[in-house]
Chain A
Amino acid sequence: MPDLGKYADAILWSWAATLVLVAAVIAVSWWQSARVKKKLDAAEARRKRS
């Protein structure tokens, strides 16, 4: 851990905010992707059966 001096709060908060937001958008994209993929597989399976 480098010595951040008097700016430690500002640096850590802004890095934390960035990482949280980036992680959130990745998680949302991932979740949506998985959900839609599952739904599509189900729909394709239905089509093949009929």
Chain B
Amino acid sequence: MEDVRTKQAKDGWNWLWAWANPVKFMALSGKALPWVVGLTVVTLAVGLVWGFFFTPEAINFGSSVKIIYVHVPSAMMAINIWVMMLVASLIWLIRRHHVSALAAKAAALVGVVMTVIALITGAIWGEPMWGTYWAWDPRLTSFLVLFLFYLGYMALWAAIENPDTAADLTSVLAIVGSVFALLSRYAVNFWNQGLHQGASLSLDKEENVADVYWQPLVICLAGFVLLFIALLLVRTRTEVRKRRIHALEMRERMADA
């Protein structure tokens, strides 16, 4: 016992694992939430207003370049939220922290909305650019596949009654699904070369979009990340409370019996 405690005290990640305790999580997230929400509002307002009103027309895209400020951040979040769910699932499977499993569950709806936004804005942008709303372009197709993965993940959560079983099974699905989502990405790339322009945010200087567009875009990206964190905190708090209600109801039933 001594050993474990000293080891725990020395763990440099204690600040992180404190969030894993439901009671501490509620206290910490309750304190953090107003700040995150405030920061989100400011960042998103600056980024979106700058992007919409104060960017010039691009040579190839005309003013349609303004769609980038909603398309790219949502597409990035769609992928990153899935990665976050994967990490949270792994933490749940390895360390059995309930908050982690609940956070993965809470993130899924935001992820699916981001995927839908990326698909819709992509389709609307595709019409004037490529002359069609939908093309079986590799990136669009892999987002469609990602959308299906989100749906399956959420359906599995909804279908299983026992919360711990649901957390375990969805975690396994998230891991296997990630491998297959990655495989689909390459398969789809191989299957159709596509119309989509290359990565606009690659570190490679040549490919990068010009600074005028890039600066507001970075602010929008930060705004979407903050928005996700704020929503994640709210939704995870809801899930923790639901769990608490469940526990209380069980106790009442036990007392009645």
- Cβ 8 A contact of A17, one of B57, B124, B235, B255: B124
Q: Cβ of B70 and Cβ of A15 under 8 Å apart?
A: yes
A24–B231 Cα distance when bound, in Å, is: 12
Q: How far is the CA of A3 from the CA of B52 in the complex (A)?
A: 11
Partner of B255 from A22, A37, A39, A50 at Cβ < 8 Å: A50
B112 to chain A, nearest CB (A): 9
Contact mask for chain B residues 205-229; partner A; CB cutoff 8 A; 1 contact, 0 none: 0000000000000000000000100
For residue A27, give the distance in angstroms from its CB to the closest CB of chain B: 11
Bound-complex Cα distance A25 to B57 (A) = 31
Q: Is the CB of A33 within 8 A of B117?
A: no
How many A-B contacts at CB < 8 Å in the complex? Answer: 96
Is the Cβ of A33 less than 8 Å from the Cβ of B63? Answer: no
Is the CB–CB distance between B124 and A10 below 8 Å? yes
* B248 contacts across to A, CB distance below 8 A: 40, 43-44, 46-47
Are A33 and B245 in contact, CB atoms less than 8 angstroms apart? no
A15 contact from B52, B127, B241, Cβ within 8 A: B52
In this assembly, does B244 line the interface, its C-beta being within 8 Å of a C-beta of chain A?
yes
Which of chain B's residues have a CB closer than 8 A to the CB of A21?
A: 113, 116-117, 120
CA distance A9 to B173 in the complex (A): 40
Residue in A6, A26, A36, A43 whose beta carbon sits within 8 Å of that of B249 in the complex: A43
**Interface size of A by Cβ–Cβ distance < 8 Å?**
33
A2 and B63 contacting across the interface, CB-CB below 8 Å: yes
Select which of B62, B63, B244 is within 8 A of A40 by beta carbon. Answer: B244
**Would you call B110 an interface residue if the criterion is a C-beta within 8 Å of the partner chain's C-beta atoms?**
yes
A14 touching B242, Cβ below 8 Å: no
- Does B184 make an interface contact (CB < 8 A)? no
The dominant DSSP class at the B interface is helix
Cα distance A43–B67 in the bound complex, in angstroms = 47
Contacts of B121 in A (CB 8 A): 14, 17-18
In this complex, what residue of B is CB-closest to A39?
B245
Query: Are the CB atoms of A25 and B231 closer together than 8 Å?
Result: yes
Q: Kindly provide the distance from the CB of B102 to the nearest chain A CB, expressed in whole angstroms.
A: 12
28 A-B pairs with C-beta separation under 8 A: A2-B63, A4-B63, A5-B57, A6-B128, A7-B62, A7-B63, A10-B125, A11-B63, A13-B124, A14-B70, A14-B125, A18-B74, A18-B117, A22-B227, A24-B113, A25-B110, A29-B109, A29-B234, A29-B235, A32-B235, A33-B234, A37-B241, A40-B241, A40-B244, A40-B245, A40-B248, A43-B244, A46-B248
Binding site for B on A (CB under 8 A): 2-8, 10-11, 13-15, 17-18, 21-22, 24-26, 28-30, 32-33, 36-37, 39-40, 43-44, 46-47, 50
List 8 extra interface pairs beyond A7-B63, A44-B248, A50-B255, CB under 8 A: A5-B62, A6-B128, A14-B125, A25-B113, A28-B109, A37-B238, A43-B245, A46-B248
